[in-house]
Structures are given as C-alpha cells and as structure tokens.
Structure 1
Amino acid sequence: MNNTKATHEDWFNVGKSDAYAGKPKTPPEDAESASMYDLGYSEGEITRPPTETPETEQE
C-alpha cells in the first residue's frame, strides 16, 4: 500500500483485513499510520469478518 496516499482510515481497514485473514502484523513505517493499523488489527482479532455469519441456535 502506498503510504503517501493512504489515510488513517485506510490503514485501520488494512489492519482489520489482515487480522480477518489471519495474516501476521505488517504495520507501515510511519508512526501514525502504524498506530491506526495496530488499532484495526486489534479490532479485527476480536470481531468477526463481515463475510462470516453467526450460527443460530435452533430449538
């Protein structure tokens, strides 16, 4: 990803996507962008990917 054109939201989404995919953390070199990437990665680890559907209990 080109660091000069990526926004903080972009890096957040990349981090979240990497976590969903089970990829290792690969934050950018820029400190602010890396912080947003880490935040997204952390959120991705604790939430489900949007393509995953929760199982419903049947009674």
Structure 2
Amino acid sequence: MKNTLWSKTNETYMSWMNNEDWFNLGKADAWSDKPKRPPEDAQAASMYDLGYSEGGIKHSPMINNHR
C-alpha cells in the first residue's frame, strides 16, 4: 500500500512512500535522536512508530560476545 502525504514539518510534498519507507524513516529519526514526527495517515504513522521504536532499542554489548 502506498500513501501520498504532505509533510507539515518541512512544508514539502512527500511523494509516494510505502510502509517500508515509513518504517525506515522512523528508524532513521530515532538513530539521529530526532523527535517523533509521524505522518497524519494512520497506517503510515503506525509503520513510522514501529520503526522509531526499533531504532530506539539499545542492545547489550554482551550479545555479540560469545566465549
């Protein structure tokens, strides 16, 4: 499913973005320590929130240390 949305944050037209695009944007915003700025569309906002949550997860440094 694709969504056409208008970004009020920077007043530019965000052309057709799919669910994966919104997920990745949310993750990138979390990694960059940017505040949440989900779109108005419910499905796109849900995907953005999922990505933002995923990007905000801090993993233990012990996960990759196998002895």
TM-score (normalizing by structure 1): 0.74
Equivalent residue in structure 1 for 2:36, among 25, 32, 40: 25
- Ranges in structure 1 where 5+ consecutive residues have no aligned partner: 49-53
Q: What is the number of equivalent residue pairs in this alignment?
A: 49
Distance 2:53 2:20 in 1: 14
Same amino acid, percent of matched pairs: 61
Say whether residues 1:41 and 2:52 are aligned partners: yes
* RMSD of aligned alpha carbons: 2.0
Structure of greater Rg: 2
Q: Whose helix fraction is larger, Structure 1's or Structure 2's?
A: 1
Q: Give runs of ≥4 in structure 1 deviating > 4 Å.
A: none
- Ranges in structure 2 where 5+ consecutive residues have no aligned partner: 1-6, 8-13
Q: Whose strand fraction is larger, Structure 1's or Structure 2's?
A: 2
Identify the structure with bigger relative contact order (alpha carbons < 8 Å, sequence gap 6+).
Answer: 1
TM-score (normalizing by structure 2): 0.65
CA drift of 1:15 comes to: 0.1
